Amino acid sequence: MSVNVDSRVVAPGDDELMGDAWRLKERIHSEEGVLKQRRGFFTDAYRRSTVHVFLAGEELVGFATVRRDGYILFLAVSPDFRGEGFGERLVARVADEHGSVTCHARATNEDALKFYESLGFEIKRRIENYYEDGGDAYYLKLGDDESITKRLSELVRRR
């Protein structure tokens, strides 16, 4: 898909695009059964985080909400824009700002696990009953060993 996409950073405390991010998360939840968080949790996390976004005009293509320590709370890319490197570019932006990047992924979310592992994330541990619904998660980490920015930059350049 050849579309002009812009990037933006939403600072902590700014509600800009929060409604759009919620709607994208809910679309993915309804279509794929992942990203099951409640609105209150999502809203609080969004407001406390730095949010990296990609926009095609007014349409939110994808976003990553990130804590100050490089932990990705939410990473979502619209199904309409998957396979075009937006997820990788969001993670690369996080990696540019942090010495390591971490996140959790639902143990049953094979697509997310494959995505993160393709970027070089390592599964550090499995956590039983991590999610509110009793689902298990993997704690994943990228970084510290070598420059993650360099590795992700090389990956993005190859695409």
What is the model's pTM?
0.86
**110 neighbors 123 (Cβ within 8 angstroms):** no
Q: Which residues have CB under 8 Å from 34's CB, separation 6+?
A: 28, 106, 109, 112
Nearest-angstrom CA–CA distance, 96 and 152: 9
Q: What was the pLDDT predicted at 3? A: 74
Q: What was the pLDDT predicted at 91? A: 96
Q: What was the pLDDT predicted at 150? A: 63
Residue 85: closest CA among 8, 33, 158, 6: 158
Q: What was the pLDDT predicted at 12? A: 96
> Mean of the per-residue pLDDT values for the chain?
90
Nearest-angstrom CA–CA distance, 136 and 72: 17
Question: What single string gives the DSSP state of each residue in 92-136?
Answer: HHHHHH-SEEEEEEETT-HHHHHHHHHTT-EEEEEETT-STTS--
Q: What was the pLDDT predicted at 13? A: 94
Q: What was the pLDDT predicted at 37? A: 83
Q: What was the pLDDT predicted at 54? A: 97
- For the chain, which ranges sit under pLDDT 50? none
